[in-house]
Amino acid sequence: RKEVEQDPGPFNVPEGATVAFNCTYSNSASQSFFWYRQDCRKEPKLLMSVYSSGNEDGRFTAQLNRASQYISLLIRDSKLSDSATYLCVARPNYSGTYKYIFGTGTRLKVLA
């Protein structure tokens, strides 16, 4: 089982739609979580850190459910420019670990 799993998609949604991605993680030692956005042939860019209480940044909302070991990303009022691959990342916090565990990404296509 992969440490971080995501539905690869693609999710094809019309402009203005709300879309949600889930990501599950298997390592209960994971304490920090992030969502990155990666455009085609570009580097991943940090979209949001995910806090235990959940957090919102404009049209984007991230939530963490430790009991069920999943993270979600909600995008409201989708724009064409939101089309990208969204990467879920977990970072274990036990001593001596400096690695980040990446999911393989979920592709989003926002259609006009």
| Site pattern 43..82 for other proteins (x: CB under 8 A) | xxxx--x---------------------------------
Which has the closest alpha carbon to 31: 2, 69, 72?
A: 69
Rounded to an integer, what distance in angstroms lies between the CA atom of residue 90 and that of residue 50? Answer: 10
Q: Which one, 10 or 16, has the nearer CB to other proteins?
A: 10
Whose tokens are 């909302």? That residue is 61
Which residues of the chain form contacts with other proteins (CB under 8 A)?
Answer: 32, 34, 41-46, 49, 87, 89, 91, 98-100, 102-105
